[in-house]
Structure 1
């Protein structure tokens, strides 16, 4: 059968299964098995042996071991007062900026993303304080919720990122280099968000009402003091990796240990916190690893069917320029993002897109960051945008309305993706030192 037709059928089956409500990992498994059995007439025993090999390889991977550790770290922090500490610490620091407390959404999300690696946890942790506090103080609701939805996606890009770990495992590239590659783009997007907020508030000062007495130096120093535990966690996790003292997996263990110590010192550690955070971390980690294994299985099945090579050859015959290829893939990822979350987009698309990208001369490290920026967009696109769901639960505002509020930040991330494509050294500069 024509591999292009196989690719279309495979994608159609995946959409059909997911549209029917089948779990992502189950849908990928069904598509992989049926493709090998019906299209290649492969013996079921051989299919089972291939699957068993992938399960063992994933279960013994040191990189995959980092996922539950960073997830548990985020779940622990979600159950502490770290969001209140960040808000109170950042408030006097951003007081003199145009937009004032709106910047706590951006800076708070960037800080929390640097210690947990999860978009959902970042949005929920920062939002449970800022969403209601800024409303109470009379800040513009659309800019408040929109900036929170957009900035909450930083958890996918700013290291340590779970999606970058998944990409590194599947693409077989250095996770440490991927983490470094995400730093400058993450700061760039955060800076673009803050600049947009500042310009909006300069044009219309009613968006961010005055909070009264300007912050004194003592208030700023007290704010820095409140932020010290969070900054210490960031330095311990990332510092342990880039000092050479720990691998990404070992850094996850360092982060969990430091987080447990922080919750103990602040008298927030209890058996209930440990039980609830472990339960949530196990649930999330099992989901991620199951998707990772079945995605590897799908990639293997596609390789047996020669789909990636034939699709790459077909697109090569279209004679698209590298920029035209990136534009086509960007639209493809945005459409996928309307129905899937970040990890699913990554694992489903990578078997076909990565060969195309490498054939076009793009660096796999750069493509990892570009792909994550595209999956960030998926967090704020209806009907399936995880950050939109979280904000709906926090604020009772409808998903479509939150999506409208987030639209300017969606456009800013699209602009950031274009900037990273035109100037790839923004991504590759830091990893070049490793």
Structure 2
């Protein structure tokens, strides 16, 4: 266990040059919060006066360290040394999130009595995940070698190599906070309002059912009495029903499409209502929460959900999601063309699906093949909009132009 001795508070606390407190920030701005824990293996025995963090034109400073570790010339920072409201190890910078996200924080360990011994490190804030605490151990550099009494060097270590000396480091916690994009915030508010309404209705139904008299159902084996003849009748009539269905398929197909669509809508609504209940949300959360977390903490997920810069376009989002490998692109292209040709399965109704699918297919093709086939997006859009042209495989054609055509042309000597 490292021995710890308290430091006297002789170092005066520097005030922030342009301090921005989160409680004074208006809604919609971002905030970088930092908690400095300790500094290890420093070259000087004297304690540093403070740690400063510079983001853009904003500089914030911590208080002086409050404890020293004897064995490794390390100093510990803690909250509330009592000198002033700024004397702790927690600091914050409040700026627009889009501006914070692109900045590089400059972290300095400052000696007020020896400015030339200031140690510095940097960290790009875009490496942080928004609303996730990140502990960092950053190497410090920038102090020139001096030969004073305050420099850390023992007589027993004269024969040691300089390479064995551990570099100075600073340990701190950073968390970047910021607002959601307007669409995401509105969606979350709508979801919270809907879940609150469902919970209130669910509680009322449970309370009402608890007051109703309980009805005891008969034993399940008694249901076998009517079930046996009904099942036998269904088994016997099944071939007849299949024959009638096959003969009258052209007449029954529109009816089957309508009935299937209605059943699908009912199933979707029922599933949505169940997933909105407390028990349904708990089951869905187990399945989808890890997936959502993985998506949110990707670089493109952060840019899509939070106000980290200009709003990403649908093509940019598709570029981040779609595969870049040759065979991954081929599989996605075949799926796109299959979805576009599916309208032939449903006459007339399928044309409505084509009109809805056309912009989606165009965005996907732009994301994958716009660099090699800039005019392919127009062909894709018009072959989906126009009738009887869905047979053209636009996405697969883009894959052939990008990968297959150069190989064929090179093999035939048409391309060097």
Could you state the TM-score of these two structures normalised by the residue count of structure 2? 0.21
More strand by percentage: 2
Bigger relative contact order, structure 1 or 2 (CA pairs below 8 A, ≥6 apart): 1
More helix by percentage: 1
